[in-house]
Amino acid sequence: MKHLFNRLATLVVMATLLVGCNNTGSKSNGALSSSAAEKVYVAPGEQDEFYAFLSGGYSGNLTVYGLPSGRMFKEIPVFSQFPTSGYGYSEETKPLLNTSFGFVPWDDLHHPDISQTNGELDGRWIFVNGNNTPRIARIDLTTFETAEIIEVPNCAGNHSSSYVTENTEYVVAGTRFAVPVPQRDMSIKEKKGNFKGALTFYKVSQDTGRMNLAFQVLMPGFDYDKAHPGRGDSHGWFFFTTYNTEEANTLMEVNASQNDKDFIAALNWKKIEEYVANGGGTKMPTTYMHNVYDEETHTATSKTINEVLTIDPTDVPGAVFFLPTPKSPHGCDVDPTGEYIVGSGKLSADVTVHSFTKMMDAIENEKFSDDAYGIPVLDFEAINAGSVKSGGLGPLHTEFDADGNAYTTFFISSEVVKWKLGTWEVIDRKPTYYSVGHLMIPGGNSRKPFGKYVVAMNKITKDRYLPTGPELEHSAQLYDISGEKMELLSDFPTHGEPHYAAGCPAELLTPKSKKIYKLEENKHKYATLTPAETRVERNGKEVHVYMAMIRSHFTPDNIEGIKVGDKVFFHITNHEQDFDVPHGFAVIGANNSELLIMPGQTKTLTWEPKREGVWPFYCTDFCSALHQEMQGYIRVSAANSNVELKWSLGEDIE
Amino acid sequence: MIIAALLPLFLFVFPLWNITLEAPQYPIPLGMNIHINDFSDANPHDIKNINLMNHYVGMKYIPDAIPEFKIFPAGIIITTILGLIIALKANYRWFLYWFILMILLSAAGLYDFYLWEHDYGYNLDPKAIMKFTNEDGSVMGFQPPLFGSKDILNFTAHSYPRLGAYFLGLGIAASFVAYRVGKKAHKKTQHMI
């Protein structure tokens, strides 16, 4: 009887609610739900307010999104071969992937960072790191293409990278997996005390953006995990989190988690720069590659470098210190003023914050608690500014808004927590779906955050989208942070595994984004700038086809005199000079990829015909109303045949 | 009258005419400026892209140079010198003759422009990729308007005079004003005598 009564009561309540909804409720619900929708809705033909560059992780590439819509605009090939455009397959781009280990067509891209001037994003370049075969790449933000890749010698797992200093003086590389330096054959169990963790500083040319290895600090063999530069008063310093200060070499999940505190390493790079300028450091033989893409020749070249300037940190007094930080800190983030250094102990519940002012005071007054391999360890109490008792678990990364708030991700408790710098009080927390890694606020790691949105990049997707079998894309969430409380706006899937991301206002990049490459500036060795220059030349078994393409034909489109066993180089120049008229090139049986050639650009595909016959090639990019007709034939004769080398367009081969 | 004679010289600085082609896939329209001695792109590579579009329907490429580019500048220089001589030496009646001469020459120029446009729009390659016919079965032409706007297939073509033409017109008008003023002044002196 009691049960029945309860059920009836429930029914009555529900009915009331339903009626209520029909009357007034539906309106307010509608308004509420549409406000989130309106905030992410970018009407057809309208454009997004921000660019977001999300790392592709194991895709090896960088993806470009718009915020608030979450629409993806481009995948920029960086460390991975990309058959879509021929990147890493074309003769011009293959050198970009050269390393001292040979051609390495894949990497694990983690941390994009936009170049800065006076601590503010300037939108000249974006730097990204390759973790596996240690490299740093620079992407040009007028072409949105990879312009340079430089290898990191004496390093393994370039994870605490590729962050830039306040005026892009340097971009850094770090070592996550300590290794023998120089590499040598030795027993693994003798790791402790014998391995090194190299932290490498690349000087960036302010004119060209080109990187040059300035110096490499050979730190104790810990795992250098994440990094961020000082800014404002702390400009001139760089901070790196460490874990495995135990220097374990096996079952690291247990053995590297024993110390109650690991360190944040603080490096005064200005002091080291001065030391180097005065002739300090030791030149060590090594080998690494520096690959540069030239926009005028549309071609990359590789150079091997055989020497690196190494620095023993104990040789530069006052340059390197350790800041004790609880529980294997991961994220290492510096607030916009440069005063607070936030270390997220990933195995703890709290976020530890150090004070730069206190750090300087502790250094001056030698408040040291210990030393590690001759490097002073500062007294924790002397430098600690406070800690955020959030109640969350597994803090990883922190970004900042312009109003003195910090936003920290918690991987284990799967949430973003907003807290106040200075008071350490928690203001708000919102769940993420699921297990968030990095987060990004446009400008949120600079002196001038733009606020407005935070993007949370999750490691686990599960049920957020329609299922696609066992393998899923990762998932991001967008939150509005313009109010006191965060508001979840939308989910969007992300390509590869985004680790960090960088964002900036659209107007920083849109005016200078290139539309075409100017044909008259094309200095490619095999370019054909007019149809009259198109030709086919034989040099032994190598055949060079100087080809042009324009709506809607190739010049030439009939080629004879190719033989089985030849190596045919199609050097193709796109003669279009109109925005967004690329042409593609594909030839049957090519063992590499297609080419996607932008207006004014020249690319080269190598083709090794294996069988006699008449074989077609065609344009792969639907370029015009006559795209289907954009095709041609190449005749392949027997290796010993004497068919003459001929080519034509619009008439029969004579 | 001196001003009238000098104003057409601005044609060497500013374009005479402009043809603009709008279509949905050209958010920035294609445009060509016609100077008295040159065709120029409204935006970089526009003429090349107009040529690329137009070859589908068999229209000829817009030439780099046409005979008019030699005749027009010479005409402008000669008429300017003539105007200056008239202004300094001749009486007001000659102002009218110069005015009429300029009207006639401008009309001839426009007619020449019309002929070129007609040839450009109708003298099509017999191997044109796409052939269009009008409802009555005649071959569709693609002549841009002489003055005004017109829909041609997926494009809307606009054809309007530019700053150079306005200066020319102003010069011609000024010569007529000079004639009227001159006539009045002449009558006055007649009266005084």
Which one of B45, B130, B154 would you mutate to disrupt binding with A, by most A Cβ within 10 Å of its Cβ?
B45
Cβ distance of B45 and A626 shorter than 8 Å: no
Name the pLDDT band for B139 (thresholds 50, 70, 90): confident
What are A262-299's pLDDT values in tens digits? 999 999 999 999 999 999 999 999 999 999 999 999 99
Mean pLDDT value of segment A180-202: 97
What are B115-134's pLDDT values in tens digits? 999 999 999 998 888 888 88
Alpha-carbon distance of A493 to A457, in angstroms, equals: 9
Q: Work out the minimum CA distance from B158 to partner chain A, whole angstroms.
A: 21
- Which residues of B2-102 form beta strands (DSSP E)? 17-23, 26-34, 39-41
Q: Work out the minimum CA distance from B86 to partner chain A, whole angstroms.
A: 48
Share of chain A residues as helix, strand and coil, in percent rounded to the nearest 5 = 15, 45, 45
Nearest CA among A598, A575, A580 for reference residue A520: A575
Q: Work out the minimum CA distance from A595 to partner chain B, whole angstroms.
A: 22
Q: Give the nearest partner residue to A578 out of B49, B56, B129, using CB atoms.
A: B49
Determine which of A10-19, B82-91, B101-110 has the lowest per-residue pLDDT on average. Answer: A10-19
Residue in chain B nearest A650 by alpha carbon: B127
B130 in reach of chain A (CB within 8 A): yes
B129 in reach of chain A (CB within 8 A): yes
pLDDT of res. B193: 60
pLDDT of res. A5: 52
| Window A:122-181, CB contacts with B under 8 Å | none
Edge to edge, the sheet with strand A72-76 lists A72-76, A62-67, A50-55, A501-505
Q: Work out the minimum CA distance from B121 to partner chain A, whole angstroms.
A: 21
Alpha-carbon distance of A234 to A109, in angstroms, equals: 28
pLDDT reading at B90 higher than 90 = no
**Phi (first) and psi of residue B154, to 5 degrees:** -85, 0
Alpha-carbon distance of A60 to A478, in angstroms, equals: 24
User: Crossing angle for the helix pair B163-192 and B92-122, nearest 10 degrees?
Assistant: 160
Alpha-carbon distance of A488 to A432, in angstroms, equals: 9
pLDDT of res. B1: 85
Task: Give domain limits for chain A.
Answer: 50-512, 522-648
Residue in chain B nearest A515 by alpha carbon: B44
Distance of CA A323 to the CA centre of its chain: 28
Cβ distance of B129 and A576 shorter than 8 Å: no
Residue found under tokens 């053995």: A255
Exposed e or buried b per residue across A238-258, where buried means at least 16 C-beta atoms within 10 angstroms of its C-beta: bbbbbbbbbbbbeeeeeebbe
| Window B:18-77, CB contacts with A under 8 Å | 28, 44-45, 48-49, 52, 56
DSSP three-state, residue A128: strand
Q: Both tokens of residue A39? A: 């905030």
pLDDT reading at A23 higher than 50 = no
**pTM listed for this prediction:** 0.91
Alpha-carbon distance of A148 to A140, in angstroms, equals: 9
Nearest CA among A584, A595, A587 for reference residue A627: A584
Find out whether A221 and A155 touch, Cβ atoms under 8 Å.
no
Alpha-carbon distance of A199 to A293, in angstroms, equals: 26
DSSP three-state, residue A427: strand
Mean pLDDT value of segment A604-612: 98
Cβ distance of A578 and B130 shorter than 8 Å: no
Determine which of A239-253, A418-432, B179-193 has the lowest per-residue pLDDT on average. Answer: B179-193
Gap between the terminal Cα atoms of chain B? 25
Exposed e or buried b per residue across A89-124, where buried means at least 16 C-beta atoms within 10 angstroms of its C-beta: bbbbbbbbbbbeeeebebbbbbbbbbbbeebbbbbb
Cβ distance of B45 and A577 shorter than 8 Å: yes
Residue in chain B nearest A577 by alpha carbon: B45
Cis, peptide link before residue A162, omega less than 30° from 0: yes
Q: Work out the minimum CA distance from A578 to partner chain B, whole angstroms.
A: 7
A257 in reach of chain B (CB within 8 A): no
Residue B8 has what DSSP assignment? Answer: G
Share of chain B residues as helix, strand and coil, in percent rounded to the nearest 5 = 55, 15, 30
Question: Which residues on B lie below 8 Å from A520 (Cβ)?
Answer: none
What are A66-102's pLDDT values in tens digits? 999 999 999 999 999 999 999 999 999 999 999 999 9
B193 in reach of chain A (CB within 8 A): no
Determine which of A13-22, A431-440, B78-87 has the lowest per-residue pLDDT on average. Answer: A13-22
Residue A144 has what DSSP assignment? Answer: T
Q: Give the nearest partner residue to B56 out of A577, A578, A625, using CB atoms.
A: A625
Residue in chain A nearest B49 by alpha carbon: A578
Question: Which residues on B lie below 8 Å from A516 (Cβ)?
Answer: 45
Nearest CA among A172, A200, A179 for reference residue A110: A172
pLDDT reading at A17 higher than 70 = no
Alpha-carbon distance of A548 to A533, in angstroms, equals: 9
Alpha-carbon distance of A220 to A634, in angstroms, equals: 60
Question: Which residues on A lie below 8 Å from B52 (Cβ)?
Answer: 550-551, 576, 578
Cβ distance of B52 and A626 shorter than 8 Å: no
A78 in reach of chain B (CB within 8 A): no
Find out whether A421 and A408 touch, Cβ atoms under 8 Å.
no
Which one of A530, A550, A551, A578 would you mutate to disrupt binding with B, by most B Cβ within 10 Å of its Cβ?
A578
Q: Both tokens of residue B191? A: 């009266």
Q: How many CB pairs under 8 A join A and B?
A: 17
Q: Work out the minimum CA distance from B166 to partner chain A, whole angstroms.
A: 31
Residue in chain A nearest B54 by alpha carbon: A551
Cβ distance of A551 and B48 shorter than 8 Å: no
Neighbours of A317 (CB within 10 A): 10
Cβ distance of A626 and B49 shorter than 8 Å: no
Cβ distance of A625 and B52 shorter than 8 Å: no
Alpha-carbon distance of A419 to A350, in angstroms, equals: 12
Name the pLDDT band for A522 (thresholds 50, 70, 90): very high
A550 in reach of chain B (CB within 8 A): yes
Can you count the helices (H) and strands (E) in chain B?
Answer: 5, 5
Find out whether A592 and A89 touch, Cβ atoms under 8 Å.
yes
pLDDT of res. A11: 47
Average pLDDT, chain B: 91
Output the CATH code of domain A522-648.
2.60.40.420
pLDDT reading at A1 higher than 50 = no
Residue in chain B nearest A575 by alpha carbon: B48
Edge to edge, the sheet with strand A558-563 lists A595-597, A583-587, A613-618, A631-637, A558-563, A646-648
Q: Kindly state the percentage of chain A with pLDDT values over 70.
A: 95
Residue found under tokens 């006052």: A318
pLDDT reading at A21 higher than 50 = no
Cβ distance of A625 and B130 shorter than 8 Å: yes
What are A93-121's pLDDT values in tens digits? 999 999 999 999 999 999 999 999 999 99
A347 in reach of chain B (CB within 8 A): no
Neighbours of A132 (CB within 10 A): 16
Question: Which residues on A lie below 8 Å from B27 (Cβ)?
Answer: none
Distance of CA A38 to the CA centre of its chain: 30
Tell me which of 1.20.1050.10, 3.40.50.1820, 3.90.550.10, 2.130.10.10 is the CATH number of domain A50-512.
2.130.10.10
| Window A:477-516, CB contacts with B under 8 Å | 516
Helix (H) / strand (E) containing A11: helix A2-20
Edge to edge, the sheet with strand A453-458 lists A436-440, A453-458, A474-480, A487-494
Cβ distance of B45 and A550 shorter than 8 Å: no
Average pLDDT, chain A: 94
B94-97: long-range contacts at Cβ-Cβ below 8 A with a sequence spacing of 24 or more? Answer: B95/B1, B95/B4, B95/B175, B95/B176, B95/B178, B95/B179, B95/B182, B96/B175, B96/B176, B96/B179
- State yes or no: ipTM above 0.90: no
pLDDT, greater one: A17 or A383 = A383
Find out whether A196 and A181 touch, Cβ atoms under 8 Å.
yes
Cβ distance of B56 and A626 shorter than 8 Å: yes
Residue in chain A nearest B28 by alpha carbon: A579
DSSP three-state, residue B178: helix
What are A462-494's pLDDT values in tens digits? 999 999 999 999 999 999 999 999 999 999 999
Q: How far is CA A357 from CA A337, A338, A363, in A?
A: 12, 10, 10
A531 in reach of chain B (CB within 8 A): no
Residue in chain A nearest B48 by alpha carbon: A577
pLDDT reading at A428 higher than 90 = yes
